[in-house]
Amino acid sequence: MKVKITYTPEEENAARATLDTLRAMYPAARVHESAKKAGVSAVFLTVIKPEKPHHTKQNS
């Protein structure tokens, strides 16, 4: 599952609260933030299934 949260500076507190809630629900999720473009920021949360870990150099 992937979740993308896009927000403006005015919505940052709500976006952070949403991200905190999702991270509490899915502690193993990966989070990536994109650079701000035209005043809009984005945060991506990727939830991976425990039986199918993300392929990295450590678990390849």
Residue 60 lies in a domain: no
pLDDT, tens digit, 9 for 90 and up, residues 24-59: 999 999 999 998 888 899 999 999 876 665 555 554
Residue 16 lies in a domain: yes
Nearest to 32 by CA among 57, 10, 9, 54: 54
Q: For residues 25 and 34, give the distance between their C-alpha atoms in angstroms, rounded to a whole number.
A: 22
Q: For residues 30 and 25, give the distance between their C-alpha atoms in angstroms, rounded to a whole number.
A: 12
Q: Give 4 or 60, the one with higher predicted confidence.
A: 4
pLDDT of residue 35: 80
Domain count, the chain: 1
Q: For residues 31 and 54, give the distance between their C-alpha atoms in angstroms, rounded to a whole number.
A: 13
pLDDT of residue 49: 74
What residue numbers bound the domain in which 8 lies? 2-46
pLDDT of residue 23: 94
Residue 58 lies in a domain: no
Which residues on neighbouring strands pair with residue 2, listed in sequence order? 46
Q: For residues 1 and 57, give the distance between their C-alpha atoms in angstroms, rounded to a whole number.
A: 22
Residue 3 confidence (pLDDT) above 70: yes
pLDDT of residue 60: 43
Residue 31 lies in a domain: yes
